[in-house]
Amino acid sequence: MVSETSHSAPATGRESRKARLERMHAEYAILCSTYPEPECALHFETPLQLLIATVLSAQTTDKRVNTVTPELFATYPSCSDLACANPEDVERIIRPLGFYRTKTKHLLGLAQVLASRFDGEVPSTMDELTSLPGVGRKTANVVLGNAFHIPGFPVDTHVMRVTGRLRWRSDWRHANPNPVAIEREITACFPPEQWTDLSHRLILHGRAICHARKPDCGICPLADSCPSAR
């Protein structure tokens, strides 16, 4: 049940841009209190490990990725080791994640490009990261924000869902929203130093409460102001 407070959910179509921005910041303050110490769910020690883990996380969970990366990282500790790896050996390790042949091709391809173009080091710019095989803006933003502490706002399915239900973005009605458009619209509303943790908190909220099929609005700390709360 949604509690009755002064922060009632705005009527559909009647919220001004200024009011929406104020609500966004008020709701984010609540998320900061609810998830005070957000962090990347993927286990890593180096930028290369995070890059590999993020590529592997496509179409699977971070928790599952964490079950195979210890062996993968121990077997191929450097970029050159992975670049020269036998594809079948890599496939065996990451098979539980699904799409293991495609992911192996991406891993070996990006390792080879890193070795040939970047001296085996993971680059720290969006353009360079997205030039690597299998690396899109979401993966690049994860690496920038968590490995290099450079502002990045990864947009995954949780971020899409939560920002849509909260109507933080103008295209919330769209069935297939554009992740790049979401990134630009949301980051325009927050200072760069908040982007990485903002993404983490939206993801945590999506996993814990704002589930895809049945959100737990009854226990949601944002229910009083969320336009989609039931």
pTM for the structure as a whole: 0.90
**Does residue 62 surpass a pLDDT of 50?**
yes
Confidence of residue 14 (pLDDT cuts 50, 70, 90): confident
Q: Is 216 a residue of the active site?
A: no
Q: Which pLDDT value is given to residue 3? A: 33
Compute the average pLDDT of residues 31-40: 97
Alpha-carbon torsion (71, 75, 80, 85), positive or negative: negative
- Three-state SS for 83? helix
Q: Which pLDDT value is given to residue 11? A: 43
Catalytic residue among 103, 156, 197, 224: 156
- Cβ burial, residue 45 (10 Å; 0-12/13-18/19+): exposed
**Does residue 5 surpass a pLDDT of 60?**
no
Compute the average pLDDT of residues 78-85: 96
Compute the average pLDDT of residues 125-130: 97
Burial 77-112 (b: 16+ CB within 10 A, else e): eebeebbebeeeebbebbeebeebeebbbbbbebbb
Catalytic residue among 138, 171, 214, 224: 138
Q: Which pLDDT value is given to residue 13? A: 56
Compute the average pLDDT of residues 132-152: 96
Residues 6+ apart with CB under 8 A from 54: 42, 139, 142, 143
**Does residue 9 surpass a pLDDT of 80?**
no
Residues 6+ apart with CB under 8 A from 80: 111, 115, 120
**Does residue 98 surpass a pLDDT of 90?**
yes
Phi, psi of 134 (to 5 degrees): 80, 10
Q: Which pLDDT value is given to residue 33? A: 98
Q: Could you tell me where the beta strands, DSSP code E, fall in the chain?
A: none
Q: Of residues 15 and 93, which shows the higher confidence score?
A: 93
- Other C-beta atoms lying within 10 Å of the C-beta of residue 59: 10
Compute the average pLDDT of residues 170-185: 95
Q: Is 18 a residue of the active site?
A: no
